[in-house]
Structure 1
Amino acid sequence: MTGLLLRLGGPLQSWGTHSTWTERDTHPYPTRSGLIGLIAAAGGHSRTMDPDRFSPLRFLVRIDRPGTHLVDFHTVGGGRPPKQTVPTAKGGYRQEGTGTLVSNRHHLSDAVFTVAVTSSDGTMLTETEQALRRPYWAGYLGRRACPPDTPFLITAVDDPHIWLHQRLPLARPTPYEESVTVEFVAEHPPDEPTGWTDNVADDPRDFTPDHRSYRSRPAYRYRRVLPAGLCGGYGTDYLDALSTALEEAA
Protein backbone atom coordinates (compact mmCIF):
# COMPACT_ATOMS: atom_id res chain seq x y z
CA MET A 1 0.00 0.00 0.00
CA THR A 2 1.33 3.43 -0.95
CA GLY A 3 1.74 5.94 1.85
CA LEU A 4 3.62 8.93 3.18
CA LEU A 5 6.50 9.10 5.64
CA LEU A 6 6.54 12.06 8.03
CA ARG A 7 9.20 13.03 10.53
CA LEU A 8 7.88 14.95 13.54
CA GLY A 9 10.80 16.54 15.35
CA GLY A 10 11.50 19.87 17.00
CA PRO A 11 12.62 21.53 20.22
CA LEU A 12 9.15 21.05 21.77
CA GLN A 13 6.01 19.05 21.09
CA SER A 14 2.73 18.81 23.00
CA TRP A 15 -0.09 16.40 22.14
CA GLY A 16 -2.84 17.07 24.66
CA THR A 17 -5.71 14.68 25.33
CA HIS A 18 -7.01 15.66 28.78
CA SER A 19 -6.12 19.34 28.98
CA THR A 20 -8.04 21.46 31.48
CA TRP A 21 -7.98 25.18 32.05
CA THR A 22 -4.82 25.24 34.14
CA GLU A 23 -3.22 21.86 33.43
CA ARG A 24 -2.27 21.36 29.77
CA ASP A 25 -1.07 17.79 29.42
CA THR A 26 0.79 15.99 26.64
CA HIS A 27 0.47 12.42 25.42
CA PRO A 28 3.78 10.51 25.01
CA TYR A 29 3.23 10.24 21.23
CA PRO A 30 1.32 12.15 18.52
CA THR A 31 -2.45 11.88 18.75
CA ARG A 32 -4.82 11.13 15.90
CA SER A 33 -6.60 14.46 16.43
CA GLY A 34 -3.27 16.31 16.34
CA LEU A 35 -2.20 14.62 13.10
CA ILE A 36 -5.55 15.24 11.42
CA GLY A 37 -5.48 18.85 12.58
CA LEU A 38 -2.00 19.28 11.11
CA ILE A 39 -3.12 17.86 7.75
CA ALA A 40 -6.35 19.86 7.74
CA ALA A 41 -4.47 23.10 8.41
CA ALA A 42 -2.03 22.33 5.60
CA GLY A 43 -5.01 21.90 3.26
CA GLY A 44 -6.52 25.24 4.29
CA HIS A 45 -9.56 23.78 6.09
CA SER A 46 -11.20 25.83 8.84
CA ARG A 47 -12.01 24.49 12.31
CA THR A 48 -15.67 24.20 11.30
CA MET A 49 -14.98 21.50 8.71
CA ASP A 50 -16.15 17.95 9.38
CA PRO A 51 -13.14 15.92 10.66
CA ASP A 52 -14.82 12.73 9.44
CA ARG A 53 -13.71 13.60 5.91
CA PHE A 54 -10.25 12.43 7.09
CA SER A 55 -11.50 9.16 8.57
CA PRO A 56 -9.88 7.06 5.77
CA LEU A 57 -6.41 8.13 6.97
CA ARG A 58 -4.47 5.67 9.12
CA PHE A 59 -1.32 6.39 11.12
CA LEU A 60 1.51 4.16 12.33
CA VAL A 61 3.87 5.99 14.70
CA ARG A 62 7.45 4.94 15.36
CA ILE A 63 9.00 6.49 18.47
CA ASP A 64 12.55 7.29 17.40
CA ARG A 65 13.24 9.39 20.48
CA PRO A 66 10.61 9.72 23.24
CA GLY A 67 12.08 13.02 24.39
CA THR A 68 12.13 14.47 27.87
CA HIS A 69 8.93 15.46 29.64
CA LEU A 70 9.04 19.02 30.94
CA VAL A 71 6.53 21.43 32.46
CA ASP A 72 6.39 25.15 31.67
CA PHE A 73 5.00 27.29 34.51
CA HIS A 74 3.02 29.71 32.36
CA THR A 75 1.45 33.06 33.30
CA VAL A 76 -0.71 35.45 31.26
CA GLY A 77 -1.92 38.95 32.07
CA GLY A 78 0.20 39.68 35.14
CA GLY A 79 1.32 43.25 35.83
CA ARG A 80 -1.03 44.81 33.28
CA PRO A 81 -3.66 47.54 33.83
CA PRO A 82 -7.16 46.09 34.46
CA LYS A 83 -8.39 46.73 30.90
CA GLN A 84 -5.34 44.98 29.42
CA THR A 85 -5.70 41.74 31.33
CA VAL A 86 -7.29 38.54 30.01
CA PRO A 87 -11.03 39.16 29.39
CA THR A 88 -13.65 37.09 31.17
CA ALA A 89 -16.23 34.86 29.51
CA LYS A 90 -18.84 37.60 30.01
CA GLY A 91 -16.76 40.12 28.08
CA GLY A 92 -15.52 42.08 31.08
CA TYR A 93 -12.19 42.15 32.87
CA ARG A 94 -10.92 40.48 35.99
CA GLN A 95 -10.94 42.25 39.31
CA GLU A 96 -7.76 43.79 40.70
CA GLY A 97 -5.43 41.13 42.05
CA THR A 98 -6.97 38.34 39.97
CA GLY A 99 -5.75 39.35 36.49
CA THR A 100 -2.96 36.79 36.27
CA LEU A 101 -3.84 33.39 34.81
CA VAL A 102 -1.50 30.58 35.83
CA SER A 103 -1.18 27.24 34.03
CA ASN A 104 1.18 24.29 33.78
CA ARG A 105 1.95 23.42 30.14
CA HIS A 106 3.47 20.00 29.54
CA HIS A 107 5.81 19.35 26.61
CA LEU A 108 8.08 16.70 25.11
CA SER A 109 11.54 18.14 24.59
CA ASP A 110 13.83 16.86 21.78
CA ALA A 111 11.43 14.08 20.79
CA VAL A 112 11.31 12.61 17.27
CA PHE A 113 8.50 10.50 15.83
CA THR A 114 8.33 8.98 12.36
CA VAL A 115 4.81 8.47 11.03
CA ALA A 116 3.51 6.31 8.17
CA VAL A 117 0.32 7.78 6.70
CA THR A 118 -1.83 5.39 4.65
CA SER A 119 -5.38 5.40 3.34
CA SER A 120 -7.85 3.16 1.53
CA ASP A 121 -8.85 6.31 -0.38
CA GLY A 122 -6.16 7.10 -2.95
CA THR A 123 -7.59 10.56 -3.66
CA MET A 124 -7.44 11.47 0.02
CA LEU A 125 -3.80 10.37 0.21
CA THR A 126 -2.92 12.43 -2.87
CA GLU A 127 -4.65 15.51 -1.42
CA THR A 128 -2.80 14.98 1.85
CA GLU A 129 0.58 14.82 0.11
CA GLN A 130 -0.13 17.94 -1.94
CA ALA A 131 -1.25 19.85 1.15
CA LEU A 132 1.85 18.88 3.14
CA ARG A 133 4.15 19.82 0.27
CA ARG A 134 2.50 23.24 -0.18
CA PRO A 135 0.75 24.02 3.11
CA TYR A 136 -1.89 26.74 3.27
CA TRP A 137 -1.23 27.21 6.99
CA ALA A 138 1.99 26.23 8.71
CA GLY A 139 1.84 23.02 10.69
CA TYR A 140 2.79 22.61 14.33
CA LEU A 141 3.41 19.74 16.71
CA GLY A 142 0.30 19.84 18.86
CA ARG A 143 0.48 23.53 19.79
CA ARG A 144 1.14 26.63 17.71
CA ALA A 145 4.22 27.36 19.83
CA CYS A 146 5.77 24.06 18.67
CA PRO A 147 6.86 24.29 15.01
CA PRO A 148 8.47 21.24 13.37
CA ASP A 149 12.03 21.21 12.12
CA THR A 150 13.12 19.61 8.86
CA PRO A 151 12.84 17.21 7.17
CA PHE A 152 9.08 17.09 7.77
CA LEU A 153 7.49 15.31 4.80
CA ILE A 154 10.15 12.75 3.89
CA THR A 155 8.65 11.05 0.82
CA ALA A 156 5.91 8.84 -0.59
CA VAL A 157 6.73 5.12 -0.73
CA ASP A 158 5.02 1.88 -1.74
CA ASP A 159 5.34 0.10 1.60
CA PRO A 160 5.51 2.68 4.41
CA HIS A 161 5.10 0.12 7.20
CA ILE A 162 8.04 -1.91 5.88
CA TRP A 163 10.06 1.31 5.76
CA LEU A 164 9.35 2.03 9.42
CA HIS A 165 10.23 -1.51 10.48
CA GLN A 166 13.22 -2.19 8.23
CA ARG A 167 14.58 0.69 6.15
CA LEU A 168 14.05 4.22 7.46
CA PRO A 169 16.93 5.42 9.68
CA LEU A 170 16.19 6.02 13.32
CA ALA A 171 16.80 9.53 14.63
CA ARG A 172 18.97 8.32 17.51
CA PRO A 173 22.69 7.61 18.05
CA THR A 174 24.13 4.16 17.36
CA PRO A 175 24.47 2.17 20.61
CA TYR A 176 27.27 -0.19 21.57
CA GLU A 177 24.84 -3.13 21.37
CA GLU A 178 24.03 -4.91 18.11
CA SER A 179 20.32 -4.09 18.30
CA VAL A 180 17.86 -1.54 19.66
CA THR A 181 14.31 -1.91 20.95
CA VAL A 182 11.92 0.52 19.30
CA GLU A 183 8.32 1.26 20.24
CA PHE A 184 5.47 1.62 17.73
CA VAL A 185 1.88 2.86 18.05
CA ALA A 186 -0.66 1.47 15.55
CA GLU A 187 -4.36 1.96 14.88
CA HIS A 188 -4.84 -1.73 14.12
CA PRO A 189 -3.63 -4.72 16.15
CA PRO A 190 -0.12 -5.82 15.11
CA ASP A 191 0.43 -9.16 13.40
CA GLU A 192 2.05 -10.52 16.53
CA PRO A 193 -0.15 -10.27 19.66
CA THR A 194 2.44 -8.46 21.75
CA GLY A 195 2.49 -5.16 23.62
CA TRP A 196 -0.44 -3.39 25.21
CA THR A 197 -3.37 -1.16 24.30
CA ASP A 198 -4.16 2.41 25.29
CA ASN A 199 -7.68 3.82 25.21
CA VAL A 200 -7.24 7.34 23.84
CA ALA A 201 -9.95 9.99 23.40
CA ASP A 202 -8.36 11.56 20.32
CA ASP A 203 -10.55 10.67 17.33
CA PRO A 204 -12.07 14.08 16.46
CA ARG A 205 -15.79 14.55 15.94
CA ASP A 206 -15.79 18.35 15.96
CA PHE A 207 -12.95 20.90 15.89
CA THR A 208 -15.22 23.94 16.37
CA PRO A 209 -13.71 25.87 19.31
CA ASP A 210 -16.95 25.99 21.34
CA HIS A 211 -17.99 22.39 20.60
CA ARG A 212 -14.83 20.32 20.50
CA SER A 213 -15.51 16.63 21.00
CA TYR A 214 -13.60 13.40 20.49
CA ARG A 215 -14.31 9.69 20.28
CA SER A 216 -12.26 7.12 22.17
CA ARG A 217 -10.26 4.60 20.15
CA PRO A 218 -7.70 1.87 20.89
CA ALA A 219 -4.03 2.63 20.28
CA TYR A 220 -1.97 -0.55 19.95
CA ARG A 221 1.54 -0.17 21.33
CA TYR A 222 4.22 -2.76 20.66
CA ARG A 223 8.02 -3.06 20.49
CA ARG A 224 10.34 -4.44 17.84
CA VAL A 225 14.04 -5.27 18.04
CA LEU A 226 15.81 -3.54 15.12
CA PRO A 227 19.48 -3.70 14.06
CA ALA A 228 21.69 -1.00 15.57
CA GLY A 229 22.88 -0.14 12.06
CA LEU A 230 19.49 1.45 11.43
CA CYS A 231 20.36 4.24 13.87
CA GLY A 232 21.22 7.37 11.91
CA GLY A 233 22.44 9.63 14.70
CA TYR A 234 21.79 13.36 14.99
CA GLY A 235 21.93 16.35 12.66
CA THR A 236 23.90 15.90 9.44
CA ASP A 237 24.66 12.27 10.29
CA TYR A 238 20.95 11.51 10.27
CA LEU A 239 20.40 13.46 7.04
CA ASP A 240 23.22 11.53 5.37
CA ALA A 241 21.75 8.20 6.51
CA LEU A 242 18.31 9.26 5.30
CA SER A 243 19.64 10.33 1.89
CA THR A 244 21.49 7.02 1.52
CA ALA A 245 18.37 5.00 2.34
CA LEU A 246 16.26 6.93 -0.17
CA GLU A 247 18.89 6.66 -2.90
CA GLU A 248 19.27 2.92 -2.42
CA ALA A 249 15.51 2.47 -2.76
CA ALA A 250 15.26 4.61 -5.90
Structure 2
Amino acid sequence: MATPIIVGIDGSAHAWQALDWAAADARLHGRPLSLVHGSRALLRDGTLSELDYAHLDEERTALLHEARQYALKQAPGLDVTTELIALEAGEALIDLSDRAALVAVGTRGVGGFEGLLFGSVALRVAGHARCPVLVVPGPAPHPEDAPPEILLGVDTAHPQDAAIGWAFEAASLRGARLTALTALPVDFGSLHLRGVADRELSEVLAGWSTTYPDVPVRPVVADAGAARALVLGSEQSALLVVGARRPAGRFGLALGAVNHAVLHHARCPVAVVPTA
Protein backbone atom coordinates (compact mmCIF):
# COMPACT_ATOMS: atom_id res chain seq x y z
CA MET A 1 0.00 0.00 0.00
CA ALA A 2 1.26 3.49 -0.85
CA THR A 3 2.47 5.69 2.00
CA PRO A 4 -0.41 7.97 3.06
CA ILE A 5 -0.76 11.70 3.26
CA ILE A 6 -1.91 12.65 6.76
CA VAL A 7 -3.91 15.74 7.65
CA GLY A 8 -4.75 17.01 11.12
CA ILE A 9 -8.48 17.61 11.61
CA ASP A 10 -9.89 19.65 14.49
CA GLY A 11 -13.09 21.07 13.00
CA SER A 12 -11.74 24.59 12.48
CA ALA A 13 -11.70 26.50 9.20
CA HIS A 14 -7.92 26.31 8.94
CA ALA A 15 -8.08 22.50 9.18
CA TRP A 16 -10.51 22.40 6.24
CA GLN A 17 -8.02 24.47 4.22
CA ALA A 18 -5.29 21.98 5.04
CA LEU A 19 -7.66 19.20 3.98
CA ASP A 20 -8.21 20.90 0.60
CA TRP A 21 -4.46 20.90 -0.05
CA ALA A 22 -3.88 17.42 1.35
CA ALA A 23 -6.63 15.94 -0.83
CA ALA A 24 -5.25 17.68 -3.91
CA ASP A 25 -1.77 16.35 -3.17
CA ALA A 26 -3.08 12.83 -2.54
CA ARG A 27 -4.84 12.89 -5.90
CA LEU A 28 -1.73 14.17 -7.71
CA HIS A 29 0.50 11.48 -6.19
CA GLY A 30 -2.05 8.65 -6.19
CA ARG A 31 -1.72 8.23 -2.43
CA PRO A 32 -4.29 7.39 0.25
CA LEU A 33 -5.40 10.15 2.60
CA SER A 34 -5.54 9.66 6.37
CA LEU A 35 -7.59 12.09 8.47
CA VAL A 36 -6.38 12.27 12.06
CA HIS A 37 -7.87 13.87 15.14
CA GLY A 38 -5.68 13.86 18.22
CA SER A 39 -6.75 14.98 21.69
CA ARG A 40 -5.68 14.15 25.25
CA ALA A 41 -9.34 14.51 26.22
CA LEU A 42 -9.88 11.09 24.63
CA LEU A 43 -7.41 9.47 27.05
CA ARG A 44 -9.35 7.40 29.55
CA ASP A 45 -7.55 8.54 32.69
CA GLY A 46 -10.56 8.69 34.98
CA THR A 47 -11.11 12.43 34.57
CA LEU A 48 -14.53 11.88 32.98
CA SER A 49 -17.24 9.28 33.30
CA GLU A 50 -17.41 6.46 30.76
CA LEU A 51 -20.59 8.03 29.38
CA ASP A 52 -18.75 11.33 28.84
CA TYR A 53 -15.92 9.51 27.09
CA ALA A 54 -18.44 7.76 24.85
CA HIS A 55 -19.99 11.12 23.94
CA LEU A 56 -16.54 12.54 23.15
CA ASP A 57 -15.69 9.56 20.96
CA GLU A 58 -18.99 9.90 19.14
CA GLU A 59 -18.56 13.64 18.64
CA ARG A 60 -14.98 13.38 17.30
CA THR A 61 -15.86 10.36 15.13
CA ALA A 62 -18.68 12.41 13.57
CA LEU A 63 -16.20 15.23 12.91
CA LEU A 64 -13.86 12.85 11.07
CA HIS A 65 -16.78 11.36 9.11
CA GLU A 66 -17.79 14.85 7.99
CA ALA A 67 -14.22 15.59 6.94
CA ARG A 68 -14.05 12.31 5.02
CA GLN A 69 -17.23 13.11 3.10
CA TYR A 70 -15.86 16.56 2.31
CA ALA A 71 -12.57 15.09 1.02
CA LEU A 72 -14.41 12.63 -1.20
CA LYS A 73 -16.39 15.49 -2.74
CA GLN A 74 -13.10 17.24 -3.51
CA ALA A 75 -11.49 14.08 -4.91
CA PRO A 76 -14.02 11.33 -5.75
CA GLY A 77 -12.52 7.86 -5.61
CA LEU A 78 -9.77 8.84 -3.20
CA ASP A 79 -8.86 6.24 -0.56
CA VAL A 80 -9.71 8.12 2.68
CA THR A 81 -9.42 6.66 6.18
CA THR A 82 -9.91 8.23 9.62
CA GLU A 83 -8.20 7.79 12.98
CA LEU A 84 -8.87 9.03 16.53
CA ILE A 85 -5.79 9.21 18.76
CA ALA A 86 -5.74 9.88 22.50
CA LEU A 87 -2.70 12.18 22.32
CA GLU A 88 -2.20 15.91 22.01
CA ALA A 89 -2.70 16.81 18.35
CA GLY A 90 0.89 17.81 17.59
CA GLU A 91 2.33 14.75 19.33
CA ALA A 92 -0.05 12.47 17.41
CA LEU A 93 0.93 13.93 14.04
CA ILE A 94 4.65 13.78 14.85
CA ASP A 95 4.35 10.12 15.88
CA LEU A 96 2.51 9.29 12.65
CA SER A 97 5.04 11.13 10.48
CA ASP A 98 7.27 8.04 10.52
CA ARG A 99 4.81 6.33 8.18
CA ALA A 100 3.61 9.33 6.16
CA ALA A 101 4.62 10.81 2.83
CA LEU A 102 3.37 14.22 3.98
CA VAL A 103 1.64 15.73 7.01
CA ALA A 104 -0.65 18.70 6.35
CA VAL A 105 -1.71 21.16 9.03
CA GLY A 106 -3.51 24.49 9.00
CA THR A 107 -2.83 27.60 11.02
CA ARG A 108 -5.13 30.04 12.74
CA GLY A 109 -3.00 32.98 11.61
CA VAL A 110 -5.02 35.99 10.48
CA GLY A 111 -3.80 37.84 7.41
CA GLY A 112 -0.64 35.74 7.33
CA PHE A 113 0.97 33.96 10.25
CA GLU A 114 0.58 36.71 12.83
CA GLY A 115 -1.42 34.35 15.03
CA LEU A 116 0.94 31.38 14.74
CA LEU A 117 2.61 31.05 18.13
CA PHE A 118 5.79 29.12 18.85
CA GLY A 119 3.80 26.65 20.94
CA SER A 120 1.20 26.00 18.23
CA VAL A 121 0.50 22.63 16.69
CA ALA A 122 1.52 23.83 13.22
CA LEU A 123 4.94 25.09 14.23
CA ARG A 124 5.62 22.12 16.48
CA VAL A 125 4.83 19.62 13.74
CA ALA A 126 6.86 21.59 11.18
CA GLY A 127 9.83 21.52 13.52
CA HIS A 128 9.73 17.85 14.53
CA ALA A 129 8.02 15.65 11.92
CA ARG A 130 10.18 13.08 10.15
CA CYS A 131 8.48 13.61 6.78
CA PRO A 132 7.67 16.76 4.78
CA VAL A 133 5.09 19.02 6.43
CA LEU A 134 2.68 21.27 4.54
CA VAL A 135 1.59 24.26 6.63
CA VAL A 136 -1.43 26.02 5.11
CA PRO A 137 -2.08 29.64 6.18
CA GLY A 138 -5.39 31.45 6.20
CA PRO A 139 -4.61 33.65 3.14
CA ALA A 140 -3.80 30.63 0.95
CA PRO A 141 -6.10 30.15 -2.06
CA HIS A 142 -7.92 26.92 -2.85
CA PRO A 143 -5.53 24.55 -4.70
CA GLU A 144 -7.47 24.91 -7.95
CA ASP A 145 -7.10 28.70 -7.82
CA ALA A 146 -3.37 28.72 -7.03
CA PRO A 147 -0.97 30.13 -9.64
CA PRO A 148 1.23 27.66 -11.60
CA GLU A 149 4.34 28.67 -9.69
CA ILE A 150 6.45 26.82 -7.12
CA LEU A 151 8.93 28.85 -5.07
CA LEU A 152 12.02 27.10 -3.69
CA GLY A 153 14.40 28.58 -1.16
CA VAL A 154 17.99 27.46 -1.86
CA ASP A 155 20.99 27.80 0.44
CA THR A 156 23.79 27.37 -2.09
CA ALA A 157 26.36 26.86 0.67
CA HIS A 158 24.40 23.92 2.07
CA PRO A 159 21.98 22.73 -0.63
CA GLN A 160 19.37 20.29 0.65
CA ASP A 161 18.63 17.70 -2.01
CA ALA A 162 15.45 16.48 -0.34
CA ALA A 163 13.82 19.92 -0.54
CA ILE A 164 15.08 20.59 -4.06
CA GLY A 165 13.81 17.24 -5.33
CA TRP A 166 10.46 17.74 -3.59
CA ALA A 167 10.03 21.13 -5.26
CA PHE A 168 10.94 19.85 -8.73
CA GLU A 169 8.51 16.95 -8.40
CA ALA A 170 5.75 19.29 -7.21
CA ALA A 171 6.32 21.58 -10.19
CA SER A 172 6.36 18.64 -12.61
CA LEU A 173 3.10 17.17 -11.31
CA ARG A 174 1.35 20.55 -11.38
CA GLY A 175 2.71 21.68 -14.73
CA ALA A 176 4.17 24.69 -12.93
CA ARG A 177 7.26 26.84 -13.24
CA LEU A 178 9.87 26.57 -10.52
CA THR A 179 11.45 29.73 -9.17
CA ALA A 180 14.63 28.82 -7.28
CA LEU A 181 15.63 31.70 -5.03
CA THR A 182 18.84 32.29 -3.16
CA ALA A 183 19.67 35.51 -1.36
CA LEU A 184 22.76 37.60 -0.82
CA PRO A 185 23.48 38.80 2.71
CA VAL A 186 21.77 42.12 3.37
CA ASP A 187 24.00 45.09 2.36
CA PHE A 188 26.36 42.81 0.44
CA GLY A 189 24.81 43.07 -3.01
CA SER A 190 28.02 43.71 -4.96
CA LEU A 191 28.30 42.69 -8.59
CA HIS A 192 31.04 40.22 -7.72
CA LEU A 193 28.97 38.50 -5.02
CA ARG A 194 25.96 38.43 -7.31
CA GLY A 195 28.01 36.76 -10.01
CA VAL A 196 29.28 34.14 -7.58
CA ALA A 197 25.75 33.49 -6.31
CA ASP A 198 24.40 33.16 -9.87
CA ARG A 199 27.05 30.58 -10.70
CA GLU A 200 26.57 28.60 -7.49
CA LEU A 201 22.79 28.52 -7.93
CA SER A 202 23.14 27.30 -11.53
CA GLU A 203 25.47 24.54 -10.37
CA VAL A 204 23.04 23.40 -7.67
CA LEU A 205 20.14 23.25 -10.14
CA ALA A 206 21.94 21.74 -13.15
CA GLY A 207 21.41 18.06 -12.36
CA TRP A 208 17.80 18.56 -11.31
CA SER A 209 16.89 20.29 -14.55
CA THR A 210 18.22 17.24 -16.38
CA THR A 211 16.07 14.92 -14.24
CA TYR A 212 12.97 17.10 -14.71
CA PRO A 213 13.31 18.52 -18.24
CA ASP A 214 9.60 19.39 -18.28
CA VAL A 215 9.98 21.93 -15.47
CA PRO A 216 10.82 25.49 -16.54
CA VAL A 217 13.22 26.96 -13.97
CA ARG A 218 13.75 30.61 -13.12
CA PRO A 219 16.86 31.14 -10.95
CA VAL A 220 16.71 34.29 -8.83
CA VAL A 221 19.40 35.92 -6.72
CA ALA A 222 17.72 38.33 -4.30
CA ASP A 223 19.44 41.08 -2.37
CA ALA A 224 16.56 41.75 0.03
CA GLY A 225 17.53 39.01 2.47
CA ALA A 226 16.24 35.43 2.20
CA ALA A 227 13.25 35.69 4.55
CA ARG A 228 11.88 38.90 3.05
CA ALA A 229 12.43 37.71 -0.54
CA LEU A 230 10.68 34.39 0.10
CA VAL A 231 7.72 36.01 1.84
CA LEU A 232 7.31 38.50 -1.02
CA GLY A 233 7.59 35.68 -3.56
CA SER A 234 4.94 33.65 -1.74
CA GLU A 235 2.30 36.16 -2.82
CA GLN A 236 2.56 34.88 -6.42
CA SER A 237 3.20 31.20 -5.66
CA ALA A 238 1.14 28.08 -5.16
CA LEU A 239 3.72 26.56 -2.80
CA LEU A 240 6.85 27.69 -1.03
CA VAL A 241 9.36 24.88 -0.38
CA VAL A 242 12.12 25.12 2.23
CA GLY A 243 14.47 22.58 3.76
CA ALA A 244 15.08 21.93 7.47
CA ARG A 245 17.73 19.92 9.25
CA ARG A 246 16.25 17.78 11.99
CA PRO A 247 17.92 17.31 15.39
CA ALA A 248 19.18 13.85 16.26
CA GLY A 249 16.67 13.50 19.12
CA ARG A 250 13.05 14.41 19.59
CA PHE A 251 13.67 17.83 21.13
CA GLY A 252 14.71 21.16 19.72
CA LEU A 253 13.37 22.97 16.66
CA ALA A 254 15.55 22.68 13.57
CA LEU A 255 13.84 25.30 11.46
CA GLY A 256 16.26 28.23 11.49
CA ALA A 257 15.54 31.96 11.49
CA VAL A 258 14.54 32.14 7.81
CA ASN A 259 12.05 29.28 8.10
CA HIS A 260 10.56 30.78 11.25
CA ALA A 261 9.99 34.07 9.43
CA VAL A 262 8.52 32.28 6.41
CA LEU A 263 6.13 30.23 8.55
CA HIS A 264 4.93 33.38 10.27
CA HIS A 265 4.33 35.50 7.18
CA ALA A 266 4.02 33.44 3.96
CA ARG A 267 0.86 33.95 1.91
CA CYS A 268 0.83 30.47 0.36
CA PRO A 269 1.25 26.97 1.80
CA VAL A 270 4.79 26.23 3.01
CA ALA A 271 6.32 22.76 2.55
CA VAL A 272 9.02 22.11 5.13
CA VAL A 273 11.13 19.21 3.87
CA PRO A 274 13.47 17.59 6.44
CA THR A 275 17.02 16.55 5.72
CA ALA A 276 18.40 13.73 7.85
Normalising by structure 1, report the TM-score: 0.27
Structure number with greater CO (CA < 8 Å, separation at least 6) is 1
Question: Which structure has greater helix proportion?
Answer: 2
Normalising by structure 2, report the TM-score: 0.25
